[in-house]
Amino acid sequence: MLHVGALRDALFKSLFAQREGGQNVFRIEDTDRSRYNADSESEFVETLRWVGIEFDEGPHIGGPFAPYRQSERKEAGIYAPLAEELMARGHAYKAFETSAELDEMREFQQINKMPTGYFGGAWRDATPEQVDAAQAEGKPFVIRQRIPRDTKIVIDDVVRGRIEWDSNTVDDPVLIKADGMPTYHFAAMVDDHLMQITHILRGEEWISSAPKHALLFDAFGWERPIFCHCPVIVGSDGKKLSKRHGATRVLDYMAQGFFPHALKNFIALIGWSPGDDREAMTMPELIGAFELKGIQASPGRFDFEKLRWLNGNLIRSLTPQDILDAILELLDHPHAQAYWENFVDEPMPNQVPVDGKVVWSRLELIRTKFAEDPELVLAAIREEQPRVHTLVEFGEAVEFFLVDQPVMDEKAVSKWLTQPHVPALFAAIVANPPAPDLPEADIRNHYDAVLRAFAADNGFDKLGPVVHPTRVALTGKTVGPGLFELMAILGPERIAARLAKWL
């Protein structure tokens, strides 16, 4: 499944290609057939489409260097002749060790505290006669790269500058497996050359493989692409990124109610800086600012609260109708429904576990009520818009507007609805409804005047003793939008029905 690291990788490439006027290529590297999953490929395509990352070439688009699946390229005979050429040049060789022999070699290296890997074995310097004899016996073999010894390997990395290796510490990697399928080490470098890739952007976990890849380009006499190894992503506490930090399958962010642009904006800023203090950026601004020199060598921090802030910032720039449309689209997405119906919470201490089915039912209520009373739903969304950070949060935020009786906070009920003046307060509100057909602003002012008059008549210097009980009875909560604003949206009939319960 597509996770945060792979999304950032794809995003950096997309931004760079757009800034430089280049081609962004989508290639399926599926040479490890034991791990290939067609559903995963489909998810990558669907997720990148949802995020809005577009490609100029790829298996689902076509292009001048098709096919773009490496398994198909292998069947087309692209890799085998180049492996033969590499052996003819003396930069690769056939190795016939069995799995048991390789295990024994590795165990010997570990026991003797030697570097672990294949540094030659019995076949690196085998004679042609020995190789022919082994093949004549039908022994399976792999083709390995012959790393030169007693030399220095150097690459210039965009992020880390000059990196050097002692070639004696670099093992001979498998290029072609026993079944004839190329490994990543071979297929990706061959394809990078054939597809005219100019820049290799990838995670820093590939730095240890970089000398092998650089030497492969050199062995063929090809120009090396520019290497750019991006930093790892860690949690806000500096530790390895985990689900606890908010890291998850990218489509889960859609299910949680994040907008694609807010997610892209957030991901772009993990390990990259535009060179100033900008955070909320449009796509044209991201493209215009994206330079490889802005990628940092230090780990990028995944700050979930920043993602929430960016998403909330975007929500506040939209109209209530835009937000409603996005909620309805979310409700129609099968992954979103499956996510919440199967949600298993890992609550932090002193937090109530989240019930995914309840979350989903609250969102469904928005759609149901919109069919009955669109003005009420849009007004409720507008009123909660300044406080909400995700589309899913609207479900709980607007619920009290849409139900007959809200869910009550028992502590708030105990504190505010047991006070002796409350029955008279509620009776006064019910007995003094606004005139029919008033505009919303006039209804708000009317209820403001009613509560202020009650406070003055009953000797209250402040509005708290009248505002808080009214809010709790109408919403079930002690916090939320302005009381008179929400009263104007609820209207006199709903207000009378809710207060009647307490009277």
469 prior amide bond cis, ω within 30: no
Q: Report how far residue 194's alpha carbon sits from residue 425's, in angstroms, rounded to the nearest whole number.
A: 80
User: Residue type at 39?
Assistant: D
Q: What are phi and psi of 142, to 5 degrees?
A: -115, 160
In this structure, what token pair is assigned to residue 478?
A: 């002690």
Classified as helix, coil or strand, 272 is strand
User: Residue type at 375?
Assistant: E
Q: Report how far residue 260's alpha carbon sits from residue 51's, in angstroms, rounded to the nearest whole number.
A: 5
In this structure, what token pair is assigned to residue 298?
A: 């230090």
In this structure, what token pair is assigned to residue 306?
A: 């920043």
The active-site residue, picked from 243, 293, 357, 411, is 243
Q: Report how far residue 315's alpha carbon sits from residue 114's, in angstroms, rounded to the nearest whole number.
A: 57
First to last CA, the chain: 55
Annotated catalytic residue 243:
yes
In this structure, what token pair is assigned to residue 500?
A: 């009647």
392 closest CA partner among 361, 370, 415, 414: 361
Residue 225 contacts residue 200 (beta carbons within 8 Å): yes
Alpha-carbon distances of 330 from 246, 341, 366, 368, rounded to whole Å = 20, 14, 12, 14
Angle at 200 between CA 194 and CA 204, to 5 degrees: 145
Residue 443 contacts residue 487 (beta carbons within 8 Å): yes
User: Residue type at 433?
Assistant: P
User: Residue type at 308?
Assistant: R
Alpha-carbon distances of 469 from 30, 412, 453, 473, rounded to whole Å = 63, 8, 16, 6
In this structure, what token pair is assigned to residue 170?
A: 């670099």
Q: Report how far residue 99's alpha carbon sits from residue 342's, in angstroms, rounded to the nearest whole number.
A: 42
Q: Report how far residue 306's alpha carbon sits from residue 287's, in angstroms, rounded to the nearest whole number.
A: 20
Residues annotated as catalytic (active site), given as ranges: 243
